Copies of this chain bind each other. A is one copy, B any other.
Amino acid sequence: MKSYGEYCAVAKTLDVIGERWTLLIVRELSYQGPSRYTDLRDGLPGIATNLLADRLRSLEAAGVVSREEAPPPVATTLFSLTPRGEELRPVLETMMRWGLPFMTEEMPDDVVRSQWLVGALELLMEDRRPTDPRAEIELRIGDRPISLAVDGGSVEAALGSVEDPGAVVSGPPDKVLPMLAGKLGRSDAEAAGVRIDGDPELLDRVGAGPA
Contact = CB atoms under 8 A, between A and B. Distances in A.
A179 B63 CA distance: 25
A7 B98 contact: no
A59 to B, nearest CB: 14
A43 to B, nearest CB: 9
Interface in A109-150: 109-113, 116-117, 119-120, 123
Contact of A103 (B4, B9, B100, B120): B9
A10 B119 CA distance: 10
Interface stretch (A18-26, A68-76, A151-159): A18-26
Which bucket holds chain A's interface residue count? 35 or more
Contact of A110 (B7, B23, B92): B7
A9 B95 contact: yes
Given A5-B109, A103-B7, A109-B5, A13 B45 contact: no
A47 to B, nearest CB: 9
Interface stretch (A33-41, A83-91, A182-190, A195-203): A83-91
A57 interface: no
Nearest to A110: B7
A27 interface: yes
A193 interface: no
A164 interface: no
